[in-house]
Amino acid sequence: MPDREFFDLRTALDHLERHGELAQVEGEVDWNLELGILARDVQSRKGPALLFSNLKDYNRPGARCSSLATGLLGSTRRLSLMLGFEDEQPNRTLMEYVLERNRRFIAPEIVASGPVHENVVTGKDIDLKELPVPQWHRLDGGRYVGTMGCVVTKDPETRRTNVGVYRSMIADRDKMSCLLVRSQGWGGHFSGYEARGEPMPTAWVIGWDPIMDFVASTPHPVDVCEYDVMGGYRGRPVPLVKCKTVPLEVPASAEIVIEGLISPDPSTYLLEGPFAEFTQYLSDLPTKRPVVQVTAITHRNQPVFRGTLAGVESAYYGAIHRAGAGWNVLRAAGIPGILEVYIEPITNGTTVIVQIKKQYEGQPKQIAAALWGSNAGQYAFKRVIVVDDDIDPADHDAVEWAINYRVDPGSDDVAMFRGMAGSPLDPAIPLELRNIAELGTGLWNRVVIDATRTWRFQRRPEWNNEKFPPVSRNRPEDTALIRSRWERYRIKNWRPESV
């Protein structure tokens, strides 16, 4: 793909609308539950991204923000468009593109000013509820600001920037409580500030080029700055401006930035949660967690708020970037014969299917060990399924067939690894094993399923001297013969797409 200019949120919305992937919602919609219900229903029908412009309580003259965009990355076609393609691309094309772009680094540049500083709100004028933050789900603990907001922090020692996607909830007029996991990028930074006894500066970027949401959600090595990766995707430096009240930098044409400080003092913590998470379950119980003390809100004129239903957009971009991250891990580990790494969007990376040209017995367990030992596996790869080269990992029927007829559950075709660092959001795990305040992360039991044909059987002359019986499929030459004779069969009321 040729390089393209950076989008901002507005040009991204225009691009989607030109391609028939954006619907404008002009009738009044209540930010309290109705918006989330409507967005979820549209997504379940495979509908377009939505731009709400008539939100109850925010459609009055003089409202600070009156629009909200959601669903920009909520399908493979929209993800393809936002990555710069002109139409939907297959999984392999997107993964290879992401792998190539993730290796390009172009450092950002600091510019003197930008539209994000057209309005600067500080002190007693700060009121988070002036933004149309939805109550996304009836069981959420509150109104969630951080659903598709990118959080900027810096390591207190190296001053290296991290940009990640984390969740936050309005706790007060000028406070947000947030889920801060120590094993994530900003969690490591927070531990460094805690050791110094200092608050951690943060900046929440809400609404910019969707490539930021994509890259910030991708697991990168700790020495890689996401701004550098974003530059590599677009082939030019990210233009940044300095924040007004914290020592951080944010995209100059962002819609909204919330600046603030997070104290390491537990006495400042406030309740956060529960939240209807990407697992499609309620995440946890209300818990006292770190708080962002907001020091400024900056925004463009007539800003557009950016938010999402958890798991709707991440299901699609997560499938691609986690598959790409898995591919990188396996390549770096030097494991031969890797043909494809595939993640079904519904799993959000929890299950990964690896297709191989098998080189030796035990190779699937080596693959699982490499994936589980990587930083990419924090929220991913709970279940690793390895299949042979004759199984399309994107074909659900083929994968299920391999699991059923190439796996002996009583053998070491199925192997468990218990008590590993993993997701604190998985509802299948007891709450006490997801207590990040005590454990620093969640604990996962992981499983590898070796759905390849075993090499431990004896060769059989009845099976053409192979160790596994032959499959009962048509030979290509037989299929070709039948198709050449198709017309003579005179089959009524059905004809395949090609014969």
Query: Do 156 and 189 touch, CB atoms closer than 8 A?
Result: yes
Name which residue leads in pLDDT, 378 or 231.
Answer: 231
* From-to residues of CATH 3.40.1670.10 in the chain: 333-451
Q: How far apart are CA 253 and CA 240, in angstroms?
A: 8
Read off the pLDDT band of 320 (50, 70, 90).
confident
Give residue 431's pLDDT: 85
Query: Do 223 and 96 touch, CB atoms closer than 8 A?
Result: no
Number of other residues whose CB lies within 10 A of the CB of residue 418:
9
Residue 391 pLDDT more than 90?
yes
Residue 46 pLDDT more than 70?
yes
- According to DSSP, the β-strands at 249-251 and 239-242 are antiparallel
What is the rounded end-to-end Cα distance, in angstroms, of the chain?
34
Q: What percent of the chain has a predicted confidence (pLDDT) above 90? A: 67
Q: How far apart are CA 379 and CA 275, in angstroms?
A: 17
- The string of pLDDT tens digits covering residues 114-153 is 999 999 999 999 999 999 999 999 989 999 998 988 999 9
Query: Do 69 and 50 touch, CB atoms closer than 8 A?
Result: yes
Give residue 256's pLDDT: 98
CA distances from 228 to 272, 326, 420, 432 (A): 32, 21, 31, 38
Buried-state track 77-95, b at ≥16 Cβ within 10 A, e below 16? bbbbbbbbeeeebebeebb
Read off the pLDDT band of 1 (50, 70, 90).
low
Q: What is the mean pLDDT of residues 296-313?
A: 91
9-306, superfamily in CATH? Electron Transport, Fmn-binding Protein; Chain A (2.30.110.10)
As given in the structure block, the two tokens for residue 82 are 């936002």
- Rg from Cα positions in the chain: 25
- The string of pLDDT tens digits covering residues 217-254 is 877 778 899 999 999 999 999 999 999 999 999 999 99
Q: What percent of the chain has a predicted confidence (pLDDT) above 70? A: 99
Q: What is the mean pLDDT of residues 437-451?
A: 90
Q: How far apart are CA 230 and CA 227, in angstroms?
A: 5
* From-to residues of CATH 2.30.110.10 in the chain: 9-306
Q: Which fold has domain 333-451?
A: UbiD C-terminal domain-like (3.40.1670)
Residue 107 pLDDT more than 90?
yes
Q: How far apart are CA 37 and CA 155, in angstroms?
A: 39
Residue 44 pLDDT more than 60?
yes
**Residue in 428, 446, 278 with CA at minimum distance from that of residue 351:** 446
Give residue 2's pLDDT: 53
Give residue 13's pLDDT: 97
**Residue in 454, 467, 468 with CA at minimum distance from that of residue 364:** 454
Query: CA quadruple 41, 46, 49, 53: dihedral positive or negative?
Result: negative
Q: What is the mean pLDDT of residues 42-54?
A: 92
Residue 311 pLDDT more than 80?
no
Beta strands in 232-301 (DSSP E): 239-242, 249-251, 256-262, 270-272, 287-289, 291-299
Name which residue leads in pLDDT, 309 or 31.
Answer: 31
As given in the structure block, the two tokens for residue 148 are 């598709």
Q: Which residue has the tokens 């956060």?
A: 272
Query: Using a CB cutoff of 8 Å and minimum separation of 24, what contacts does 31-35 make?
Result: 31/55, 31/56, 31/57, 31/58, 31/68, 31/132, 31/133, 31/134, 31/135, 31/143, 32/56, 32/134, 32/135, 33/134, 33/135, 33/137, 33/138, 35/68, 35/134, 35/136
Q: How far apart are CA 134 and CA 143, in angstroms?
A: 6
Q: Strand, helix or coil at 24?
A: strand
Name which residue leads in pLDDT, 483 or 59.
Answer: 59
Number of other residues whose CB lies within 10 A of the CB of residue 28:
13
Give residue 423's pLDDT: 86
Helices 91-101 and 314-332, packing angle to 10 deg: 60
CA distances from 333 to 100, 307, 323 (A): 18, 37, 15
Give residue 489's pLDDT: 84
Give residue 339's pLDDT: 94
Distance of CA 496 to the CA centre of its chain: 37
Q: How far apart are CA 495 and CA 442, in angstroms?
A: 52
